């Protein structure tokens, strides 16, 4: 059985590196671009309105498990300030939540649109 709490804790620890070293920029509509410090071509779009990320970890590992990737966790403090929301305790998703998280069509369309833009250009 997977230990979801440990998965989340591991990613939270890695999110501190993202906060300290990665270039993170708010691009509007609750979306952020996160760019790797050593490999500028490695950048990911994080959509906090749906807690989705374009990184491989989110797509291959944590999607649908109720666990966030390090990019989402790194952005969360700024997002909470921006929205005035409070962080809720970690809970595993219900089946309905999993179905919602797996609906990636709109997010994928937005990613394709943004991939043709300069990540530093404001939307």
Q: Show the tokens assigned to 78.
A: 């700024």
Query: Contact, 34 vs 22, CB < 8 A?
Result: yes
- CA separation, residue 101 to residues 47, 57, 120 (Å): 12, 14, 27
Three-state SS for 40? coil
C-alpha span between 14 and 70 (Å, rounded): 6
Q: Give the pLDDT band of residue 109 (cuts 50, 70, 90).
A: low
Per residue in 40-92, pLDDT (tens digit) is 889 999 999 888 999 999 988 887 787 899 999 999 988 888 888 766 544 34
C-alpha span between 30 and 40 (Å, rounded): 22
Work out the average pLDDT over 20-49. Answer: 91
Q: Show the tokens assigned to 80.
A: 């909470």
């Amino acid at each position: 059985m997977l230990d979801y709490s440990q998965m989340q804790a591991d990613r939270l620890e890695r999110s501190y590196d993202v906060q300290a070293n990665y270039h993170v920029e708010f691009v509007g509509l609750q979306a952020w671009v996160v760019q790797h410090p050593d490999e500028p071509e490695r950048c990911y779009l994080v959509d906090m309105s749906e807690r989705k990320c374009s990184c491989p970890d989110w797509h291959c590992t944590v999607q649908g498990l109720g666990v966030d990737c390090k990019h989402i966790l790194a952005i969360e403090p700024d997002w909470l300030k921006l929205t005035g929301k409070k962080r809720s305790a970690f809970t595993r998703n219900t089946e309905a939540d999993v179905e919602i998280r797996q609906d990636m069509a709109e997010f994928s369309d937005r990613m394709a649109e943004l991939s043709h833009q300069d990540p530093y250009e404001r939307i």
